[in-house]
Chains A and B, each alone.
Chain A
């Protein structure tokens, strides 16, 4: 029946390609025509938060923690409001995860504090008895990569029109402007100023000293990022 096709590798391959590409064309293209639009109140990440997001990705936090609250009572009870598509408009990449070895973190900024994260990242079991999460002590000494976060801010502004330095509407009717430096020095200074606010709530003296000297450890950046998840 199809023997002729099996003797013609070129037509066969074209046929296979058309058949497998079909579903992708039908399911993906309409979604892209409708570009991801932010909901009111969703802002781009600040330089420090973005650097913290890179720390989150570097350590594959998404291997054990989701960032997607499904529309079930049990999930909204546990984690807060269910997720809306527009809340992820500035997430490149998305970090929904596929496995909850630990709890969801979509809105962790609503119910955990800087101090809690500081103690928890050092020794999770001390704070949450029975936790199987390991400590992330190296985040207290490794330095966050602010320059790369800045490079990403420039890239997403140029290519995808992410509204840095532009007023973004908030839920209460006001607007908020997320700053992006016009030079890398400005970006570093901005990140350091934000880092000082985070470090002020922390207890670890080494971290405080580093920030005082103008260095930003990874722990400060990732806490800034987690506090932004609301």
Chain B
């Protein structure tokens, strides 16, 4: 027993893999659809007048953001945790009946929560707060699912063989703690049915905060949801999968230490940059701007650590499509963590805020960094979980280029469109009158909206190629070895 490698149990990881893929397809399909609704408004009526309420842009938009954030991304986080956790802690889930049952229950409850979220959002139950739209019963379900994940993390840590926690585990722990704190405080709400003694809709609740305070809490949450869902756990992934895939050790332990603690401290201050020139206190806005600039340090620290991990092994970028995904993911991470601070500078924000440059920036991070990392992680995991060679390397390469092209379409169109719109809103003619009506600035965006839709569609095509590749891997003939010995699944 002592001399054999551990056999890990990937049952729960496998389940979450499927929810990652399925919810990714659902969320991104809705995304592409609503992108085209902005270019061609008649699509709002695609299922006729009778169902227009449910195919309308405004009803679908929270479904898109929540499906990709809490569906695709959070599933990806769970899937990689149930894979990476066991391997870096050197303990199998099968060793603990409790953890195994907990993991399975975690998945089942998660799926029930997602179903409830989708149904209630379609029905129009929303708190209106971005990325926290769910009404209170769904919030409670989310808290339970999250606590179960926490028990799973600390349970596995409790029975670990490897005493030192690997860097990825730091980031998973931070994800758990950060999201727990943010979600609880931002969703403080009072169900009106109970508070009023049984009047009205049981689903309805009212925020515990009003006006500027509510905005402050929401963007403290909203910005840091980006931190603790779209950044921290994704860094956990790259710290595991890049060294594993490339066979290279992490370049610098000290740099990872600096980046981790720096990111933890700095990120939470930066939420104020969503509220520049609003009615929240000025010093909070200034802190938001300043800390956003400081945030470049820990962000680039991680990204540079990743790039330097490939030092001397750059030929792998040419030979392996998986390394391509990982490398471009960290490059997009650098790009969007530079773009964000630029937008947080007050004078830039005056132009950028409320324009398409903002969703453009979000998608640089979510498509290029989060999307690519989750895609790469599942590509790395699939051959090992199913104990089969990956179905097609060339399909994977094609997917990489199609999706990269899609992202480039997306951010260039949103960048140009957003700045154009921002400049038109603020321009005055020689007499000091507004130079453009609001409608002028809508009309000018039309070509950019089409390009953006095409960019999104290309990325979605790539997601279908990814799903197909993994499906074919799963259903292929098994290979003999219990564990792949080569560092890369591309060996064959």
Contact = CB atoms under 8 A, between A and B. Distances in A.
Majority-rule SS of A interface residues: helix
Nearest to B192: A151
A226 B126 CA distance: 19
Contact of B213 (A31, A130, A155): A31
Given A23-B265, A31-B284, A152-B206, 6 more contacts: A16-B174, A64-B58, A70-B278, A83-B278, A93-B128, A96-B215
B492 to A, nearest CB: 36
Contacts, number: 255
B264 to A, nearest CB: 5
Contacts of B165: 6-7, 9, 12
A87 B215 CA distance: 13
Interface stretch (B93-101, B242-250, B268-276, B469-477): B268-276
A91 B213 contact: no
Contacts of A20: 174, 177-178, 181, 264-265, 267-268
A159 interface: yes
A12 B170 contact: yes
Contacts of A19: 261, 264-265
Nearest to B34: A63
A32 B164 CA distance: 41
Interface string A28-71: 10111001100000000000000000100111111110101011
Interface stretch (B75-83, B193-201, B307-315): B193-201
Contacts of B211: 36, 85-92, 94
A107 to B, nearest CB: 14
Interface of B: 37-38, 41, 44-45, 49, 52-53, 56-59, 61-62, 124-130, 154, 157, 163-165, 170, 173-174, 177-178, 181, 185, 190, 192-193, 195-197, 199-201, 204, 206-218, 220, 254, 257, 261, 264-265, 267-269, 271-272, 274, 277-281, 284, 287, 291, 350, 353-356, 358-359, 425-428, 433-434, 438-439, 442-443
B284 A17 contact: no
A85 B200 contact: no
Interface residues of A, number: 90
A59 B163 CA distance: 51
14 contacts: A58-B124, A60-B59, A75-B425, A83-B279, A88-B214, A90-B210, A91-B211, A92-B206, A99-B354, A134-B37, A150-B200, A152-B200, A159-B190, A184-B199
A152 B278 CA distance: 27
B268 to A, nearest CB: 4
B42 to A, nearest CB: 9
A25 B355 CA distance: 31
A1 interface: yes
A2 interface: yes
A64 B57 contact: yes
A57 B157 CA distance: 43
A72 interface: yes
A93 B457 CA distance: 34
A150 B200 CA distance: 7
Contacts of A142: 53
A100 B174 contact: no
B265 A60 contact: no
B265 A22 contact: yes
Given A36-B210, A94-B211, A130 B443 contact: yes
B204 A151 contact: yes
Nearest to B58: A60
A7 B164 contact: yes
Contact of A150 (B129, B199, B425): B199
